Amino acid sequence: MYEFHCAGCHLEDGTGLGEIYPPLTKSDYVIENIKDFACIISKGIRGPITVDGIEYNEEMPGNKGLTPVEISNIINYMNHTFDYGLAPQQLHETKEYLKRCE
């Protein structure tokens, strides 16, 4: 899932590219905004954000087609692969978080 939907920009190893695509590995942004994570995946994100001290001001498209289960899977996959050290996100939590951007 991650591979297919996200790796094109953020790369398989999650390291991103220059000041264009922010990294997802150990991203302080993800960890601080974990409640927005589901919405970032679903709706995308634009405008200036700061990730690990570097400012990005690009646009990430949303993934409208993804179901809450799939979004939850991506989040947990990333949490595991990139070592965020967060508790696994339960499906009902993902659904709850997704209400923030409806």
**CA-based R_g, the chain, Å:** 13
Please give the DSSP secondary-structure letter assigned to residue 84.
-
By the criterion CB under 6 A, which residues form the site for ligand HEC? 5-6, 8-10, 21-24, 27, 29-30, 37, 40-41, 45-47, 49, 51, 56-61, 63, 74
Stretch that binds other proteins, among 10-18, 34-42, 62-70, 80-88 (CB under 8 A): 10-18
Q: How far apart are CA 58 and CA 49, in angstroms?
A: 9
Does 1 bind other proteins (CB under 8 A)? Our answer is no
CA 75 vs. chain centroid, Å, equals 7
| 18 lines the binding site for other proteins (CB under 8 A) | yes
